[in-house]
Amino acid sequence: MEELELVCFQIISFAGEARSAYMGAIQTAKKGDYEEAEKMIKEGSDAFLQAHKVHADLIHKEAAGEMEQTPNLLLIHAEDQLMAAETCKILAVELMDAYRRISILEAKEA
């Protein structure tokens, strides 16, 4: 496997792990377990940072002339997965806040 392919698969794997953790955090917050949801956000963020580091290293290698890049579908897919994971994090954090607010309002009504 070529180095670029390996890097792409690493990005895809870490980004997928991050996205799964963020989606799990949403479901966990929906059930009212905000402490566990926060842990899942942290796990997702750790995986996202690994994906981001691999991607940044790739960019640095290209800038240094160590690796010639011609855009290919696998790299585009990897970057798309990275951006999708970032979007999931933003939405997960916002939804967790919304679920907390709903819980507070429901408690006031009861």
Which amino acids are annotated catalytic? 77
Positive or negative torsion for Cα 23, 28, 32, 33: negative
Count of positions (residues) in the chain: 110
CA proximity to 106, closest of 98, 27, 28: 98
Neighbouring residues of 19: CB distance < 8 A, sequence distance ≥ 6:
44, 81, 84, 85, 88
- Joined together, the tokens standing for residue 3 give 């180095």
